[in-house]
Amino acid sequence: MILPGATLGVLGGGQLGRMFALRARVMGYRVVVLEADPRSPAGQVADEQIEAAYDDDAALDLLAERCAAVTTEFENVPAGSLERLARRVPVHPSAAAVSVTQERIAEKSFLREQGFSTAAFAPVQQADDIERAIAATGFPAILKTARLGYDGKGQAVVTSPEEVRAAFTRFGGVPCILERRLALETEISVVLARGSDGQVVSFPAGENEHRDGILHTTTVPARIPAGLEAEAERLACGVAERLGYVGVLGVEMFVAEGGRLFVNELAPRPHNSGHFTLDACSVDQFELQVRALAGLPLVRPRLLSPVCMVNILGDSWGAGAPRWERALAMPGVRLHLYGKADPRPGRKMGHLTCLADSSDAALALATAAHAALRAS
């Protein structure tokens, strides 16, 4: 066990690293962030930042020297960096687990091999694979780059062989995956934590609404049948077990084809759809990340209130700074900002967690609070 007072390291300087660092420091740990950006969200709140790229060997060695254990907030860290760190300190999640989740072909193949339902898919490594891939998926389909996609980037909806070819070319001929596009009834996700002793605890499933490929709201309890909710938690925990995963894992799922669950993708870190846990649960996803990393006991989180989390994107700036005071005047609304200077459209700047007496009321409150931010 790594006890409070020790130093924990995190690779990556974004908002997830920031919330990890804040929680770890509340619990009495010191935190070192490795991140090249000198004004990163996580670096601002860490005890120390090592300003370097994720593949800088000297910086990685310094991080290993400073820390009792290291985690990541960013799935695109090179596996080699995690392996290098792991020779000197405990690293969770492992390079092997992160590698599976950072490449869509490996991720979906792993899920299928382990018997988890996914949308029909096929790899498109080169243009010659397109015909065979279409035979496997049919139309409509989605072509996704195998690596580095997020918030719907690197994706194209395609309805004909010509469109697949055009999208593949547009993506630069990099390896892709073609997936059947399902008619979604709902999108949900389960965030869980698994310890190195194999103990798993999960949060209740969140019901997710995306806008333009970016998560907009997460509502909890998800408005789905109780049996399906329980199945989603079981399924997510099963994925973590099969991966031999240690740490916090986000499992995105689709509900489609008459209430069936399909696994969409895995995030080897706390998840945007788990931010509701910061204000609505007895223990939040970042505390469980700290606990799993430090080998402290994991406890089953209790949901204290129905809640809706709504993301605040750079779009909320529009004419000027958002009218924070209007949202904060609404009882049940809490503000989380990530310390980013430049509010570009589509960029995640912060979020609101909105507590109310029911899922419907929480979603309505979040919608009102989010709309109130826009200066007019």
- Shortest CB 262 distance to ligand ADP, Å: 8
- Shortest CB 181 distance to ligand ADP, Å: 4
Provide CB contacts within 8 A for 22, sequence distance 6+: 45, 286
Q: Which is nearer to ligand ADP, 314 or 318 (CB)?
A: 314
- Shortest CB 165 distance to ligand ADP, Å: 19
Residue with tokens 């790229």: 53
Q: Which is nearer to ligand ADP, 179 or 279 (CB)?
A: 179
How far is 338 from 266, CA to CA, in rounded Å?
Answer: 23
Which contacts qualify for 326-335: CB closer than 8 Å, 24 or more apart? 326/369, 326/372, 326/373, 327/352, 327/369, 327/370, 327/372, 327/373, 330/354, 330/365, 330/368, 330/369, 330/372, 332/356, 332/362, 332/365, 333/365, 333/369, 334/279
Q: Which is nearer to ligand ADP, 67 or 188 (CB)?
A: 188
Residue with tokens 């254990």: 69
Q: Which is nearer to ligand ADP, 150 or 230 (CB)?
A: 150
* H runs (alpha helix) in the chain: 15-26, 57-66, 79-86, 95-101, 104-113, 130-137, 161-170, 226-243, 277-280, 285-294, 324-328, 359-373
Q: Please choose which of Mg ion, ligand ADP, none residue 103 contacts, taking the beta carbon within 5 to 8 angstroms, the exact cut-off set by kind.
A: none
**Residue 124: beta bridge partners?**
176
Q: Please choose which of ligand ADP, Mg ion, none residue 179 contacts, taking the beta carbon within 5 to 8 angstroms, the exact cut-off set by kind.
A: ligand ADP
Q: What is the binding site for Mg ion (CB under 5 A)? A: 252, 265
Q: What is the binding site for ligand ADP (CB under 6 A)? A: 119, 142, 149-152, 179-182, 184, 187, 210, 213, 252, 264-265
- Shortest CB 374 distance to ligand ADP, Å: 24
Distance of CA 24 to CAs 42, 43, 292, 295, Å?
12, 14, 12, 13
Q: What angle do CA 63, 68, 71 make, to 5 degrees?
A: 65
- Shortest CB 187 distance to ligand ADP, Å: 5
DSSP annotation of 283 reads S
Distance of CA 198 to CAs 95, 193, 236, 295, 299, Å?
18, 10, 14, 11, 13
- The neighbour count for residue 115, using CB atoms within 10 Å, is 8
- Shortest CB 265 distance to Mg ion, Å: 5
DSSP annotation of 297 reads P
Q: Which is nearer to Mg ion, 63 or 309 (CB)?
A: 309
Q: Please choose which of ligand ADP, Mg ion, none residue 184 contacts, taking the beta carbon within 5 to 8 angstroms, the exact cut-off set by kind.
A: ligand ADP
Q: Please choose which of ligand ADP, Mg ion, none residue 149 contacts, taking the beta carbon within 5 to 8 angstroms, the exact cut-off set by kind.
A: ligand ADP
- Shortest CB 127 distance to ligand ADP, Å: 21
For residue 240, what are its two tokens? 């973590």
- Shortest CB 268 distance to ligand ADP, Å: 13
Q: Which is nearer to ligand ADP, 179 or 233 (CB)?
A: 179
Q: Please choose which of Mg ion, ligand ADP, none residue 351 contacts, taking the beta carbon within 5 to 8 angstroms, the exact cut-off set by kind.
A: none
Q: Which is nearer to ligand ADP, 119 or 310 (CB)?
A: 119
How far is 293 from 329, CA to CA, in rounded Å?
Answer: 37
Q: Which is nearer to ligand ADP, 19 or 142 (CB)?
A: 142
